[in-house]
Structure 1
């Protein structure tokens, strides 16, 4: 049995479920590098495509031919593009939805957050709420995931810009951080760095590399993220306001050349990961399962993986990951996102030029 490391402990890596236990259904094809999925109250779905398009999928899985107009202007190059779509908590009344995306050009760009109204057929009244600074060169490491907290604030994940990793330890910018905002883009009056003249007031945590999965677990009152390590050292982290998660002062990975980034895996004052994946699986999306379709999965985390071409099911007990399970390798695809639908099924987005939306349903 393979094992993966968590805080110096060994975590059993279980075999995947037998194919008799679930069935994979391809609902929608022809999506260009789909990135994020949101479920509409009427059974339809919104999907972002990294090149800058927001697509509408009917309840039966058919793809609306024309993308929705009104998406902000997106810088689309390499890892840059349109990222997450998320409905506002009062979407039924307000029609607001949130979009994260890369702005600018190859010489000066970063991650932005905007909101716009969706009336069931189109977008209108868009406004930019936040743009990470400084603008930097290149087209890598943007973060771009979002989560809502129960106090009606929003957490947006960011990246270190790849070539700017040392800036993840600089609270004077947004690189390599999480930021927390009100739903209209203001700084909450209890943000942990507020009042520090040397820090950006939006910061919620720092010392991250490229955070691409985020989940708020209401039952445990926990905010969890996953982030890409370099060559190895992908992490699952439990977020505490104001905490520093170490990058690049600490890591379980090495540079892509094989060179050492740091000799330290832990340091005093820096928060270690709950779990690290070495070698890397390249974690992308993350979902918390609650539903009736798969009772054995209640409360488990699901982490989609790009390089690993799989989904990891993480079983937790008393704040620790005690088991991992590899799922859906039969797709033979990079998996960009994993979501739990209102029907209790899992939904997967495959990250390809001809990507797909796949539904996971019980076999019986």
Structure 2
């Protein structure tokens, strides 16, 4: 499968754009990409769009291992740092403020302050980021993080209001019931639809817990926005009431398909076998009974790649890309990307485009390669630009936009 490396490298530093020469090469590569995917091969019945060179820009000062982001309004973005910081970033100026009244987190190995999600105030509309349409006191903020309990940690979710500077009335609405000393595989992605909160939970390195029906390990959970449990959750034999699905390893990407409301998740495999799954209530996605990956020391895992009663992935990466962060593109800036999937890669420091046809992935391309380091999260701003988080000690928030936008 061909890859089209659209952005190879950029100059570092707040507000610095790629050079004119690099921009020329980027324009050519972007045009080739558009022709191959949307014109020359007739992928989805589109003619080649008029494509100008996108620019990538760092917004504001560097960040230390940023992990998650979500919008307060169309100009302001919450960003987490794994060490336990939450910032509100002005996308236009790069200025940021530190938010107070956060939970204490266990920032060891893969743990820390991980995802943030916002139940947006009414009136938020898409458009140029020069406006705000903000109503701080109407927003509800959700944080997913690793919580220390004695010598062990669990994945936890807090819910809070926001007064413009601090979280208010913060309360813990969920604590996973599988505490362990393993500081890995927290999952910890959150998405919200109009009614429910969905969150991903890793199996914390205890693979067989992903099949234990009473444990939250290796699962997607579904809650109401207030943290209560919906009465129509699957509640299969012995399942904990919060469970929506089981059989996951370490899912760090969740997205809602805007065309039909489906929940999509991706997860880390072992050595190979990273997956994208379409999440359906009561389904078991197989880990560790089946896997497309191998043991790190060699050898197969489980009984193969598929088995009766277990749901198969719709996309597999072998070798692993270490996926993190995922969103469906919706926007006016790059209309030829609408309805397709953007996925970050930690291992290869890339942004992948996964082409969707008839509701399923059919092929992929590399849209960004090695430009900003490990891509931890991806989002689409209200003006259609693409935002990325670079998970590095001197990482940052980056924006991909058309020239002049």
State the TM-score, normalizing by the size of structure 1. 0.92
- Runs in 1 of length 4+ with deviation above 6 angstroms? none
Instruction: Give the aligned partner of residue 216 of structure 1.
Output: 256
Structure 1 pair 325/44, CA: closer, same or farther in 2 (3 Å)? Answer: same
Q: How does 1:169-188 map to 2 (within 5 A)?
A: 169-188=211-230
Cα offset, 1:257, TM superposition? 1.8
Instruction: Give the aligned partner of residue 36 of structure 1.
Output: 68
State the TM-score, normalizing by the size of structure 2. 0.83
Q: Is 1:299 matched with 2:339?
A: yes
Taking the aligned partners of 1:29 and 1:230, their CA distance within structure 2 comes to 34
Taking the aligned partners of 1:26 and 1:321, their CA distance within structure 2 comes to 30
The range that moved more, 99-108 or 128-137, is: 99-108
Q: How does 1:134-153 map to 2 (within 5 A)?
A: 134-150=178-194, 152-153=195-196
* Aligned with 2:388 (options 339, 342, 348): 348
Q: How does 1:103-122 map to 2 (within 5 A)?
A: 103-104=147-148, 107-122=151-166
Instruction: Give the aligned partner of residue 356 of structure 2.
Output: 316
| Structure richer in strand, relative to its length | 1
Conserved in 2, the CA contact under 8 Å of 1:349 and 1:356? yes
What is the CA deviation profile of residues 31-63 of structure 1, one whole-angstrom value per residue up to 9, with x for unaligned ones? 110001112226122110001110121233434
What is the total number of aligned residue pairs between the two structures? 348
Q: Is 1:193 matched with 2:235?
A: yes
Name the Cα RMSD after superposition.
1.7
Q: How does 1:1-364 map to 2 (within 5 A)?
A: 2=1, 13-17=2-6, 19-20=26-27, 21-41=53-73, 43-64=75-96, 67-90=98-121, 92=135, 94-104=138-148, 107-150=151-194, 152-162=195-205, 164-193=206-235, 196=237, 198-363=238-403
Taking the aligned partners of 2:62 and 2:149, their CA distance within structure 1 comes to 27
What is the CA deviation profile of residues 72-91 of structure 1, one whole-angstrom value per residue up to 9, with x for unaligned ones? 11111010000111111447
What is the CA deviation profile of residues 200-243 of structure 1, one whole-angstrom value per residue up to 9, with x for unaligned ones? 00000000000100011131231100000011000000111000
Cα offset, 1:148, TM superposition? 1.4
Cα offset, 1:332, TM superposition? 4.9
Conserved in 2, the CA contact under 8 Å of 1:106 and 1:138? no
Structure 1 pair 350/270, CA: closer, same or farther in 2 (3 Å)? Answer: same
Conserved in 2, the CA contact under 8 Å of 1:50 and 1:81? yes
Look up the SS of the partner of 1:98 in the other structure.
strand
Taking the aligned partners of 2:168 and 2:372, their CA distance within structure 1 comes to 38
Cα offset, 1:362, TM superposition? 1.6
Conserved in 2, the CA contact under 8 Å of 1:107 and 1:138? no
Conserved in 2, the CA contact under 8 Å of 1:106 and 1:137? no
Look up the SS of the partner of 1:168 in the other structure.
helix
